Structure 1
């Protein structure tokens, strides 16, 4: 394992996927991340690149050719290079290769920069286009946080606190694709009580979220966390069936709609990065 730490938290990673796997409070010994139990879901915090969600028929078209790409893309399954910038900051990097160019015909450099500040961990997604043509991509986070924390209380003792929403309109997923069907969840002063049944159909997918901060809190005043994000136009909340975690997923991109024409340039949420340009987004989790 690879780690960075300070006097408040110790954070561990794997080089495969540059995946965040543990956030441990050094005083309380609270583990804030999901355990990765493969009986439910064997990941912790995969990076979604160069697509978010699934493609229609697991394929897309670009410049007259058809390419196949699995759900959430390939970055989460690839080995990243890394180096410690300091004891409290680490940089993971992945670049295009002959292997990636066969399924994704773009040159790129993808970096994940993790940095500690007090009891907070920030994750910065950095994408550079080294080529002479535009780079088309989507990217998103998928961190899974333990609920209940330290096995304190029940799942339903916990709730999500949205800082700017009174109700949530979410899109239903059909066969991994976004359907036109929408439903509304009414919040109680911004609170959404966690229940396993919320995720029995799949993730709750939001395209019009007003909030830029979601906290995981509980009615018993156990430990919790605050998740901050900005300029991510879509957001997902998900858990595997009956598993003791919840994923907070900021996305720049989204799964294909069921009627999508499969043209990459027309994909909802696709980002076009001009030659030699740099792009970044940041999310941050603060533990208490």
Structure 2
């Protein structure tokens, strides 16, 4: 485990998946991060790489060869190497190997950098294509999950207890609904007016809520019962997913900045045609990042 700490927050990171496992408010002892404590979702803040979401039939075609790649890719289950560490920064890295090449025939170096400052954490993803001639196709998604309040209803079901999402600026956002296979329903995509969403568990009955966002979009998660506000500021990550488990009603909500999307339901399976995949030319590097700010009020 790697620990970052200042006067505001104590952050615990693990090498498996280079995942945030804990963010504790130093003044109150409040734990912001879901601890992955049930089978409903055993992660806390995994990263999706080299794809986001599901593929049609869990496979794709590249250079006339089919490859199987599971939901959200393999990085979340790989052991990262700690590259650098200070009291408030840490860097983790994985590279292509025999296992990854069997599922994803590209050379790559994938680094995740964490910087803790004041009450904020910035997560930066660096993707390097070390090949001298072959382009690299990839997508990334951050999936931090946050503890939220629940209450018991009269029928013993659980419901969120005054949990809200605020989208700023408010306006029309492109909504990308999923079908029962986790694929985008092409004929049902549409614009939605977004401002404040007062969450219920049924919001997630069909899976994540996925929206295309812009560079100015800021997302806030409010837990009015605990007096918690968490602000997500993405950069170079043009999609947002909001998600929690359903029908299992667990006490977390995930805010997920993403560069990529699941397959559309009419996908031809060709990786080079997959909408939202980033094409990284040989011997080049891309960065994407997001910042989380944690507040008690």
Q: Which residue of the other structure, out of 226, 245, 251, is the alignment partner of 1:244?
A: 251
Q: 1:203 maps to what in 2? A: 208
Q: 1:121 maps to what in 2? A: 121
Q: 2:185 maps to what in 1? A: 179
Question: What SS does the corresponding residue of 1:178 show, helix, strand or coil?
Answer: coil
Distance across 2 between alignment mates of 1:101 and 1:177: 25
Contact 1:44 1:144 in 2 (8 A): yes
Distance across 2 between alignment mates of 1:206 and 1:228: 15
Query: Superposition pairs for residues 4-43 of structure 1, below 5 Å?
Result: 4-43=4-43
* More displaced 10-residue stretch of structure 1: 215-224 or 239-248: 215-224
Q: Which residue of the other structure, out of 229, 233, 236, is the alignment partner of 1:228?
A: 233
Contact 2:48 2:75 in 1 (8 A): yes
Q: 1:168 to 1:193 in 2, by over 3 A?
A: farther
Structure 2 residue runs without a partner (length 5+):
151-158
Deviations 1:161-204 (A, max 9, x none): 111123554222111111121366554xx211111110011001
Contact 2:166 2:220 in 1 (8 A): yes
Structure 1 residue runs without a partner (length 5+):
none
TM-score under structure 1 length normalisation: 0.93
Question: What SS does the corresponding residue of 2:47 show, helix, strand or coil?
Answer: coil
Question: What SS does the corresponding residue of 2:203 show, helix, strand or coil?
Answer: helix
The reply on whether 1:256 has 2:263 as its aligned counterpart is: yes
Distance across 1 between alignment mates of 2:196 and 2:214: 14
Deviations 1:193-241 (A, max 9, x none): 1111100110011125675211112445712211111221221110012
The reply on whether 1:148 has 2:149 as its aligned counterpart is: yes
Q: 1:221 to 1:29 in 2, by over 3 A?
A: closer
Q: 1:6 to 1:235 in 2, by over 3 A?
A: same
TM-score under structure 2 length normalisation: 0.90
Contact 1:165 1:209 in 2 (8 A): no
Deviation for aligned residue 1:94: 0.3
Deviations 1:53-100 (A, max 9, x none): 111111111111111111100111110001443110000000000111
Distance across 2 between alignment mates of 1:220 and 1:156: 7
Q: 1:96 maps to what in 2? A: 96
Q: 2:196 maps to what in 1? A: 191
- Cα RMSD (Å): 1.8
Contact 1:207 1:234 in 2 (8 A): yes
Q: 1:281 maps to what in 2? A: 288
